[in-house]
Structure 1
Amino acid sequence: MSLLNGGVLVVDDNPANLKLMTKVLRGAGYNVRVASSGRMALESVKARLPDLVLLDIKMPQMNGFEVCERLKQDPASRDVPVIFLSALRESADKLRSFAVGAVDYITKPFVPEEVLVRVQSHLNLRELQLELERKVAERTRALRTLSAGNQAVVHARSVEEMLELMGEAIIGGGYPAALIALDDGARCQAGREDVHWDEDLMPDGPCGLYDGDADRPGHSIILPLRLQDRPLGRLLVFADDHHAFSEIEDVRVMVEMAGDLTYGLDTLQAREQHLKARHALEHSLERTIEAIATTLEFRDPYTAGHQKRATRIAEAIAHEIGLDEHRLKGLFVAGTIHDIGKISVPVEILSRPGKLSVAEFEIIKGHAIAGYDIVKGIDFPWPVPQIIRQHHERLDGSGYPDGLSGNDILLEARILAVADVVEAISSHRPYRPALGLSAAVEEIRTHRGTRFDARVVDACLKLIDAGRLPLAEY
């Protein structure tokens, strides 16, 4: 089931252009809406969010740049891709379009086939982004519920209190209704009272069931509660949408929660289950991060490969200086997606050969804050958002985006900064060939103790001298 249903909004003050674009897009099967002015475009977006906007620049009263800026300022529409379709050909106009948030720029007169290819490409990326956001939201909801459920298991002093706290944890995690029914008669129903529960169902394993009607559809998961071979009852969790529990990992988290409840009922194993759930939470977070990182491979293979290689180098350095296992996990997670913010940078800039302009480089520099904004809402057990934001900071305050210096920069970020530079200089880039490991060594040695942490540089150089830095792919 596609997550795209808003269609394409075409904005142009020229009726002939609107007619032509409508014919081209509808001929390719797209749902098309039109607006003949910037104000009409904003009203149309407010009424129903489009999947993509094709936007002219030269329009009276409100030009295309102003329309795009307003769309990007509104949280509801800021992620909708905007493609400028304009007769303006100056580089300054194109750079300004990307600066205000556009993802592409097509000059008039255009070739219909080119427009269709670019529209489909950005719609594919938009659907991928929406699917990723849905998966992350569902995974975060499941993990938050699992964590709260663990707290209920740990703090409950009786079966009745445990069932009540577990019901509250499920509802607090974002699910609208839940039922816990034990074979001995104890039960707790939490959340919405209009949800129908078929309590006669007792599956051998988890299964998703349709619960509700045409007006209030939903999706349920029913999980057996068993202590070894002894059945204890069942746990039922209801969600409002059919996407819930569609991922194996999300079902696994629900199974884990049912397991926590089961073992929580057996007070002798409460502590063991709490630790097990904690490990499952960390593992699930790592899997979620790997899914996020995978999205970059569809858009920018150079960035995706760079993240993996820089992370391996950072892990080797961290091991050398004695970072503990918990912080190593956090460094791995942050390193795996430290450039995720580049998803906000136009592909044309990322893959452009030759030297970037000042304006283009400023756009790229924004990826540190963009990456921080993407992941800051995820409840990590490590300072992942801060590491991502700080990986371009420098000890002497010359870095970005915040100009931090010295110990104000997290050690993990200082490690990643060195690994990032070594990998970037040593490997090929679209705008230059690989400069080689010797150039990377010269860079970090020259700026040891000024831009880069001396202990981190020394550890890196020691690994290079011993042939133990993971550089096999260069």
Structure 2
Amino acid sequence: MKKSICTQQPRTNNKKHTILIVDDNNDSRVLLKTLLKGHGDNPTIAENGKKALKKIADKKFDLIISDIFMPVMDGFKFCQTVKEDGNGRNIPFIFYSAAYKRKEDEEFALKIGAARFVRKPVEPKKLLSIIKEVINESEKREFALNKAIVPNNDEKEIASLYSERLAHQLIHKEEELHDSEERLLSISNTINDAIIIIDSRGIITYANKSAEKLFGYSNSEFIGQGLCDTIMPKKYANAHLEGIKQFKKTGEGNLIGKTAELCAKRKDNTVFPIELSLSSFKIRNKWHAVSVIRDITPRKLADALLKKSADTLQKSYGGMISALSHMAEARDPYTAGHQLRVAELARSIAVEMGFPSEQTDGIFLGGLIHDIGKICVPAEILSKPGKLSDIEFKIIQNHPQVGFDILKEITFPWPIAQIIQQHHERLDGSGYPNNLSNSEIIPEAKVIGVADTVEAVASHRPYRPSLGIENALEIIANGRESAFDTDIVNTCIKLFNEKQYKFA
């Protein structure tokens, strides 16, 4: 005995239309619901025919708009069930489908009691017009009297037509799926990267042409084999087998959704570097993984050559800077070794403060030639044992600018020319040659400035003996914040007092 769905009563024209939307596609449901609500109607949604029947049993509807191709109960079966119910047959029914488009589909839809058969897509204005027409017909009872009743003697014909429509659509879907698979296969085989798919056991179920070419296996040699038996080096085997256990349960793993650089093995057992991108998907409740594999041997070779070139260039820079350092000190025997000692102290400060290695290298090399500008200072001034005159002192003060002018056209990976130009600048603007202050002075020059002051005070000079390291540290300590960067000064003092740093 069939359950009565609901008794539909005539509505007054000023009442909102209560409309049931049945579609398995969420986007389609939301769009149609939004459209109807925007025009003053009261829509309700269901994902398939079976759920829609439950809603009809609990609520009165003025109209049903249904898709056809849906899981659990399709639109045709849903419409038949509604129209065969003694109390539900008067609900007007509109099919709104993108999957069923043949003339025979429309004829069958109308035969089982639908008022209209609308093919997606359709303009919203047109769809609203159709809805209005169908509801008006229903209210005038035209649809109920002429079309809603399905004669008993048509039951066999209806069943036959339904089976025919369903079979045709399934065949059509199968053809679409086959065409889609063919397209994906064609695309996969034109991609230069190797693509390998494994199941939840780690067994290869698919390998494209590029995979065959890259690893040296034929397709038949790939399919049905494990990764450990084909392309995976032994060093990864244990981790892979453990990972497969987790992947089988959850579809997750250490490399799922990531790109990593690893090694792979060819059929001839040669091992080479690869870039692996891994993702997962589910079919029939079982996890599968797609590996996109790229041979990065050329990239690694290029990186190695680039590193070799960079190392060679670095040595060339170092050799050039060392030569300039010796040239400057050859003219000033009293300061021989000064630049090297400054460079070594500055580097130690930078390392202790956590400067990046590249920046630390620049500080060291800049320290090696920070006084290169003194090659333009007359030797008698450099080695004068007595006090310098004002003019002589101004000549000495010009050496940072001279050093900058000598090196400014040379392109170094570090700001060498700026380090030389600014190593006598001070935070309060009292330095030279440009009276720069605080943030205008680059960090490298601030470090060299502290190291230079400490070494100069602690060493012998033509005009005075060494004042000792304690006096040197006291001078920079007193100059914190005014002349020197506080963190740099504190680090320098820490090196001498706590880490027993000593000049070589």
Same fold (TM over 0.5): no
Identify the structure with bigger relative contact order (alpha carbons < 8 Å, sequence gap 6+).
Answer: 1
TM-score by length of 2: 0.40
TM-score by length of 1: 0.43
